[in-house]
Structure 1
Amino acid sequence: METEGVRTDRLGLLLSQFDQAREMAQVRLTGLGDEEYLWEPTPDCWSIRRRGEAATPRAFGPGEWVLDLGKADIPASEYAEVARQAAGGMTVAKIADDWSVSVERVEQILAHIGTPEPDTTPITTIAWRLGHLHFHFAGGWEWTFGERRQEPKTLVDFTPSAAVALERFWALIDRWRDDVAALTDEQLDMVGFSQYPYASDPDDPYIAVLSGTNLEFIHHMAEIALLRDLWRASVTTPR
């Protein structure tokens, strides 16, 4: 459906939202250099690091460089999502498996009353945020449009080069976007059309997965834009 050249169907709206977010992100990422890409604005940041130098216990990647990943937990910002999963019929055991935490941790969150405590997640570098997005889009594509067999944590060869990382990332985004644009209404409504194992994709209609994917892209790109602003301020402010 179109209104004066603008698509108003479900898929059209999500694609338009994504395309606008992508356009803004590409502008904001123009000129990203290696030093800024790897800049750690505070101590104890998460980033990409050489294998053997990772600062976290679950860092992963198939090559020389790995992406920091700490102990599995559910941040306070996701408590509402856990409640929605439970309300939607997911068992506590399935939610625990979905988040890679214990059943006891899920029960603790579901029993939480009042305002969630502040998150204590670490600050992450531009390299980490871009790598995180790349990893999830690569896994999402493989387990939706690909062969649905390759372990997502082996799909992205993380790199200390900003230019290489961006070239690889936008190529993946192009492929993912082309396949999404070809989806039918039946596929959008299909529960489990995506079998991506590190989210609730197998239990959700794909239209809901797409909505969440847009949100993931938008909020991480906004964080990257802010880090670029802070970097520019740090290198131009007299010390």
Structure 2
Amino acid sequence: MSGEGPRTDRLGILLEQFDQAREMAEVRLHGLGDEEYLWEPAPGSWSIRRREEATTPRAYGPGAWVIDKGAPEIPANEYAEVARQAADGMSVAKIAEDWSVSVERVEEVLAFTGEPEPDVVPITTIAWRLGHLHSDFEGRWEWTFGERRQDPHLLVDFTPSASLALERFWATLDRHRASIGALTEEQLDTVGLSQYPHGSDPDDAYIGTLANGNLELIHHMAEIALLRDLWRARR
């Protein structure tokens, strides 16, 4: 309402951050074309591909196009998170299940000392980044506000059309925004309000899950913005 100051409650701050990130993302993605959307900046890039052309071991999607996904692993930049999970009382078996790796791999990470080597990760296309974000927001909505039964990997029909991908993505963000905007303080503090099966959501208070969702949107959109800059400067 006119005359009201900015919200300073926990949910209000997160909503304002989300809204600002969404607004900047729309500005930066204006005019995205199909060629740029699918542009692979380097050999071995991850992207979305026709199902019959997929080369990564866990590429997923319900339709003719799938998104690249590699074998399960705990990246070096998450070693500290694994240590925190263990310190918080999570069993090695549960941590292994959380990361989809073996118990032996978790034990190896927990026993590691010193500075881990930097992760070697694939370069990704705008299509991959957008598809990854879309899949994440769609899956977490389903397992928080939806029926909590559909496979998160089968919720987004990936497309080679940049305009269609964006249309669907904005609709998903709109639904997410409407749902979180109606949350109560009690729901923010509810552990397991989100039952999303590919992460620690069931063990976390929802306010933490919500903050992580904002972080995902911000950092992936920043990467997409850089890819757009590189596309324009490629020649």
Query: Where on the TM-score scale, by shorter chain, does this alignment land: which range?
Result: over 0.9
Shift of 1:88: 1.8
Which 4+ residue blocks in structure 1 deviate beyond 6 angstroms?
Answer: none
Moved more, 118-127 or 105-114: 105-114
Q: Structure 2 CA distance, aligned partners of 1:131 and 1:152?
A: 12
Q: Could you say which residue in structure 2 is the equivalent of 1:121?
A: 121
Cα deviation code 1:12-32 (max 9, x no counterpart): 111111111111111111111
Superposition map of 1:188-227 within 5 A: 188-227=188-227
1:56-99 CA deviation, whole Å, 9 max, x = no partner? 01101000000011111111122222122222221111111111
Instruction: Give the superposition deviation at 1:210.
Output: 0.6
Q: What whole-Å deviation, never above 9, does each CA across 1:8-58 have from its counterpart, x for those lacking one?
A: 111111111111111111111111100000000100111000011002011
Q: How far does the alpha carbon of each residue in 1:192-226 deviate from its partner, in whole angstroms, 9 at most, with x for none?
A: 10000011000000011111111111111111111
Q: CA offset at residue 109 of structure 1?
A: 1.3
Match of 2:153 in 1: 153
Partner AA of 2:25 in structure 1: A
What is the rounded CA distance, in whole Å, between the counterparts of 1:42 and 1:153 in structure 2? 26
Aligned pairs for 1:1-239 (under 5 A) are 5-234=5-234, 237=235
Cα distance, 1:231 vs structure 2 = 0.5
Letter aligned with residue 162 of structure 2: A
In 1, Cα distance between equivalents of 2:55 and 2:100: 20
C-alpha displacement at 1:182, in angstroms? 0.3
Q: Which one is further off, 83-92 or 190-199?
A: 83-92
Q: Counterpart of 1:94 in structure 2: which amino acid?
A: K
Task: Give a deviation string over 1:173-200, Cα, whole Å, max 9, x none.
Answer: 0000110010001111111100000110
Q: TM-score, normalised by structure 2?
A: 0.97
Q: What's the offset of the Cα at 1:105?
A: 1.1
Tell me the C-alpha RMSD between the 2 structures.
1.1
Letter of the 1:203 partner, please give it.
Answer: D
Unpaired runs of 5+ in structure 2?
none
SS across alignment from 2:150: coil
Structure 1 residue 131 displacement after superposition? 0.4
- How far off is 1:4 after superposition? 5.9
Moved more, 146-155 or 84-93: 84-93
> Amino acid of the residue matched to residue 157 of structure 1?
D
Aligned-residue identity in percent: 75
Query: Which consecutive residues of structure 1, in runs of 5 or more, have no partner in the other structure?
Result: none
